[in-house]
Amino acid sequence: MQHAIQTLTQALRQATEDHNWPSVVNVDAKIAELLAAIQGKNLAVAERQALDNLKKVHQQARDYCQGQSDMLAAKMSLVARNREGATAYAQFMDDEGMR
């Protein structure tokens, strides 16, 4: 069990570092399966430590993904504002007969 937890931890870390979002989703689903499978079971100290590390890496990945999502939203908003400005400018030029 400890090895499986460590493998998922490393896979999540690598997928996040690589910006491989489909892989992040895939690993996250595997983590959910693992957590469901071990729910209510007694874990050895090493397994609990590996699980604590997985929790830490998962939180870091979640925070990083949220930051990337926020940056993307800001870029998309800027593109939309620029498009609106360009459209307004083009309309002004047409209205003034300057084109």
Range of the domain at 50: 2-95
- Residue 26's pLDDT is 97
Tens of pLDDT along 36-75?
A: 999 999 999 999 999 999 999 999 999 999 998 899 988 8
Number of domains into which the chain is organized: 1
Q: What is the pTM of this model?
A: 0.73
pLDDT at 93 > cutoff 80: no
Burial class for 78, CB neighbours closer than 10 Å (0-12, 13-18, 19+): exposed
- Residue pair 5/34 in contact (Cβ under 8 Å)? The answer is yes
CA distances from 72 to 12, 39, 76, 78, 83 (A): 21, 36, 6, 10, 16
- Give percent of the chain with pLDDT exceeding 90: 68
- CA distance linking residue 77 with residue 75, whole number of Å: 5
Amino acid at 69: S
Mean pLDDT rounded to a whole number for the chain: 89
